[in-house]
Amino acid sequence: MIVTVVGVGLIGGSLAISLKEKGVANRIIGVDHNEENLRKAKELKIIDEGSSLEDAMTRSELIILAIPVDAVLKTLPSILDKVENGRVIMDVGSTKQKILQLVAGHPKRGRFVAAHPMAGTEYSGPEAAIQNLFSQKTMVLCDVKNSDEDALEMVEGIVDQLNMRTVYMNAEEHDLHTAYVSHISHITSFALALTVLKKEKEQGRIFELASGGFESTVRLAKSSPDTWVPIFRDNRNNVLDVLDEHIHQLQQMRKLLEDEDYETFYKLIQKSNKIRKILK
Amino acid sequence: MIVTVVGVGLIGGSLAISLKEKGVANRIIGVDHNEENLRKAKELKIIDEGSSLEDAMTRSELIILAIPVDAVLKTLPSILDKVENGRVIMDVGSTKQKILQLVAGHPKRGRFVAAHPMAGTEYSGPEAAIQNLFSQKTMVLCDVKNSDEDALEMVEGIVDQLNMRTVYMNAEEHDLHTAYVSHISHITSFALALTVLKKEKEQGRIFELASGGFESTVRLAKSSPDTWVPIFRDNRNNVLDVLDEHIHQLQQMRKLLEDEDYETFYKLIQKSNKIRKILK
């Protein structure tokens, strides 16, 4: 089938590569408001051609929105207005409640499948697109009862082909759990980078001393604000809630260190070690 | 030469493997108060034999202390009391000021070289020992002017053979910079694990949704309290200082989110992105 990918960056580009590789798509049309990205994506053979959204929509069975969540909010209603019968729209955004509220009453709501692949890297743009980004990862599908059966089946089939496991949630659950497991990690990492950049006046020292541990904790701080500010904005209440808990935990550790209560500090670290069991 | 490794865990065990592989050591004697670790290390062929410290010291040219920093503080003075001429003691601990203050006036201070390899993983024990842990990493050598010339030369030669780059610092600088670049990452990660374990009642959700990003940020929370509590205790003032800055940065991000000042939030993330340049 012909697939259109709107936004040929890390996620859209990686999806394009996988869909072609798995034989799901025989042709990929790229749409991007950034002409340079479109040119690069073509050069890298991630897409077969660049086109306008209007033209691409008339020729594709599946249109994937791989753009920042604020851009999905802005464009999805008008895309649904124009979608022809039998065609499917799917997004891959990191927040779901606002988007699904926005199109809840749309007469063509059924053509839309809300998806979120739990996969990514800290890089962005078409050059960041890689093979096998999604293999063995989780795809969250949200509020599937509001999608048409054939649309859902198409997306489920693709998720299967991508070698991903599927998890079903409603939009509210999705935004809550992703705040806990994904969004707070990014906040932490951004704040850690700011901390080290502020305290460590001698940047050469950071380079010299940075071990794998530091690099892994601060890695997400390389992520693009174009992607992440809209996510934090959309999921503001949940992010504030988990951020409060995180600040509280840090303050608790600070207090124990200040009071030199190393016994309780030890127990707290043991408690945090429980993450071993969950993450294997 | 014959090398004794005291503490056959992640660091000591990995050193033993590399020293043997590079031909620096033709025999490795392991010393560990944990008999089970000693047995495993021998089984895994990380060491050639287990022995008591007293016996091992009389037979080795180099004794490496790869034990938690509180154990170094406890044992180093008596080890120096017993060290024979020509032999060298080296530690690989993550804090340096207290240890070097403690032995500053020792008549055999010159036989000791204070070292800290900026390398590790979140795992511990002899099973965690791996090949090539140190290659291309930094070895910090501290207050080298107080080590005897031949002792320093031996250690520098080994660092070279391990394919590491050497950085020289005084103990005060070392503890300051490692607090900024290494110790705070661990605090952050422990606190993040506690946050997620507290908020996410449905642990299955963590497993399902955890992507590479979350795993990388929380990875250090698997680290052992036996290693880390003594480090935080030794380096308490520096850790408190950088922890205050980290809490401040998180509070600043929280405030911007609460005030919905997304423009400043965007700029802050851009600023944190500068870590890209430093970590390549």
Position A279 scores a pLDDT of 83
ipTM of this complex > 0.90? yes
What's the gap in Å between the CA of B60 and the closest CA on chain A?
Answer: 30
pLDDT tens for chain B, 280 residues long, are 999 999 999 999 999 999 999 999 999 999 999 999 999 999 999 999 999 999 999 999 999 999 999 999 999 999 999 999 899 999 999 999 999 999 999 999 999 999 999 999 999 999 999 999 999 999 999 999 999 999 999 999 999 999 999 999 999 999 999 999 999 999 999 999 999 999 988 778 888 888 888 999 999 999 999 999 999 999 999 999 999 999 999 999 999 999 999 999 999 999 999 999 888 6
Q: Predicted confidence band at A153 (pLDDT cuts at 50, 70, 90)? A: very high
Is B99 within 8 Å of B45 (Cβ atoms)?
no
The answer to whether the CB atoms of B211 and A260 lie below 8 A apart is no
The answer to whether the CB atoms of B206 and A242 lie below 8 A apart is no
User: How far, in Å, CA of A7 to CA of A227, rounded?
Assistant: 12
Architecture of the structural domain at A174-279: Orthogonal Bundle (1.10)
Q: CA nearest B280 in A: which residue? A: A207
DSSP state of A277: H
Position B29 scores a pLDDT of 98
| Tokens 């320093």, residue located | B152
Residues A235-254: what's their mean pLDDT? 97
Q: What is the CATH number of domain A2-169?
A: 3.40.50.720
Residue A77 has pLDDT above 80, yes or no: yes
User: How far, in Å, CA of B7 to CA of B67, rounded?
Assistant: 5
Position B210 scores a pLDDT of 87
Q: What is the CATH number of domain B2-170?
A: 3.40.50.720
Q: CA nearest A237 in B: which residue? A: B258
Domain ranges of chain B: 2-170, 174-279
The answer to whether the CB atoms of B247 and A245 lie below 8 A apart is no
Where are the alpha helices (H) located in A44-137, listed in sequence order? Answer: 53-59, 69-82, 97-102
Position B197 scores a pLDDT of 93
Q: Is A240 exposed, middle or buried (0-12, 13-18, 19+ CB in 10 A)?
A: middle
The CA-based dihedral angle spanning residues B52, B53, B59, B65, taken in that order and rounded to the nearest 10 degrees? 130
Residue A280 has pLDDT above 90, yes or no: no
* Residues of chain A numbered 123-142 and touching chain B (CB < 8 Å): 137-138, 140
Residues A95-109: what's their mean pLDDT? 97
| Tokens 């034999």, residue located | B49
What proportion of chain A, given as a percentage, has pLDDT over 70?
Answer: 100
**Residue B273 sits at the chain A interface (C-beta within 8 Å):** yes
Nearest to A245 among B140, B195, B221 (CB): B195
Position B159 scores a pLDDT of 98
Question: Which positions ≥6 away from B114 have C-beta within 8 Å?
Answer: B90, B91, B93, B96, B99, B100, B141, B142, B143, B147, B171
Residues A181-198: what's their mean pLDDT? 95
